[in-house]
Amino acid sequence: MDVTIMNQPCKNNPFCSSMAPTIRELLCSHATTTYQISRQIQAINQGDKQLEIIVDGVLIAFTILEDGTQKGIELIKKGDILGTHLLFDKLEYSPYHTMALNEIKKCIFPVKYIEGLFHENSLFAQALMQNLSRHLAKNNIFWMSMHSKDGEEKVKYIYKLLQDSNVDMNKIIQEDLALIAGVSRTTVARAMKTIYKK
């Protein structure tokens, strides 16, 4: 994983763009930029005392169940933040994994620094809470939409969502779609026949 120090604000990032330039520059001056290549899997656990802002790209977050099967949690896109649970004392949060669906660029910060900024700067705190609220609302809408669809419709919906997010669909395999949509590979295969016909 390549690592560089970031000195300039990232453009077109929804979270960073929501802040005043002075706060954004302060935040960026403390960021370390990392890259996650397509299909690279990263484990996220309670020991990772860092907060990650997704600057560009799309990830799938998933957990591994006791029987070894994988269960998709959510799609993570540009402007989303990983590690916010670490800002709250005694909040239980199970370990999970992320897999990059295209090249990911993200800014990493020590949680202690973000905690200090959150308590000392009301404008940053407001921007962070707004981001969390939007993320929660987005996920609610996503899962409500998914709940109303049958298996094949879920696959088609996810396929178009990834296309619209500039994911190279030639690199997405049926297992990926099954994980994200929460359906069987057989359902994915049926849906793909319809998609390819169009």
Q: pLDDT tens digit string along 10-32? A: 656 788 888 888 888 888 889 99
Q: pLDDT tens digit string along 31-80? A: 999 999 999 999 887 666 899 999 999 999 999 888 888 888 899 999 99
- Per-residue confidence (pLDDT) for residue 114, from 0 to 100: 94
* Structural domain count of the chain: 2
Has residue 82 been placed in a domain?
A: yes
Average pLDDT of the residues in 145-167: 94
- Per-residue confidence (pLDDT) for residue 12, from 0 to 100: 67
- Tokens for 175? 């297992």
Q: Which amino acid is at 87?
A: L
Q: Which amino acid is at 145?
A: S
Shared domain for 115 and 153, answered yes or no, is no
Shared domain for 94 and 14, answered yes or no, is yes
State the Cα–Cα distance between residues 167 and 5, nearest whole angstrom: 26
Shared domain for 40 and 78, answered yes or no, is yes
Which range of residues forms the domain containing residue 189? 149-197
Average pLDDT of the residues in 84-104: 85
Has residue 74 been placed in a domain?
A: yes
Has residue 42 been placed in a domain?
A: yes
Shared domain for 102 and 27, answered yes or no, is yes
Has residue 140 been placed in a domain?
A: no
Q: 142-165 as b/e, with b when 16 or more CB fall inside 10 Å?
A: eeeeeeeeebbebbbbbbebbeee
Shared domain for 86 and 173, answered yes or no, is no
- The CATH number of the domain where 50 resides is what? 2.60.120.10
Has residue 131 been placed in a domain?
A: no
Shared domain for 112 and 27, answered yes or no, is yes
State the Cα–Cα distance between residues 101 and 21, nearest whole angstrom: 30
Q: Where are the alpha helices (DSSP H) in the chain?
A: 14-17, 21-28, 111-120, 122-147, 151-164, 174-181, 185-197
